Amino acid sequence: MSTLRGAMHAPIGVLPPAYRERAHQGTSGILRDVASPEEVDRTLRKLVKRLDGAELDGASLPENERSILCVITDLDLTYRADYAGGRIRKLRLLKTPDGTADVRISLGSDELVALANGKTSLPMALLFGRIRVDANARDLLLLRQLF
């Protein structure tokens, strides 16, 4: 009972020590870390390089061109890239969000970093709604193979 009473009288906005420790554990804690815009940029560029060299276990890459939009929801950042001939090119940060793209991926910054570092899988993130992908069925299958 005394621990509850102490927690109830904590100043507003101050986390008890147990919660502060868990908050620094990443996505498993109560509070999630938010990646900086610079970390998001580095992570996206690293991910694009990795996807460019991916082998798809015999699956063929689409021949036609695609536009890809990546929306980082918690930082209000939107990146655009062009896909052509099996390569992702021209990754750039948009100053004004453009809603038109063949593939639109929306996710939080911490989820992007976790996905790039292999700490989460695309199917699980999709299942739990942490990532949203708007694309046709073939593009969804291709993304599944890449991750």
pLDDT digit string, tens, across residues 9-23: 444 545 444 444 444
- Judge if pTM exceeds 0.85: no
Same domain assignment for residues 76 and 138: yes
**89 near 104, Cβ under 8 Å?**
no
Same domain assignment for residues 92 and 110: yes
Phi, psi of 8 (to 5 degrees): -70, -25
Neighbours of 110 (CB within 10 A): 21
Same domain assignment for residues 55 and 111: yes
Same domain assignment for residues 61 and 76: yes
Same domain assignment for residues 40 and 17: no
Same domain assignment for residues 68 and 116: yes
20 Cβ contact list (under 8 Å, min separation 6): none
What is the mean pLDDT of the segment spanning 109-116? 93
Same domain assignment for residues 96 and 85: yes
pLDDT at 38: 96
Same domain assignment for residues 16 and 84: no
pLDDT at 86: 74
Domain count of the fold of the chain: 2
Distance CA 34, CA 2 (A): 34
Residue span of the structural domain in which 13 resides: 1-32
pLDDT at 147: 60
Same domain assignment for residues 72 and 2: no
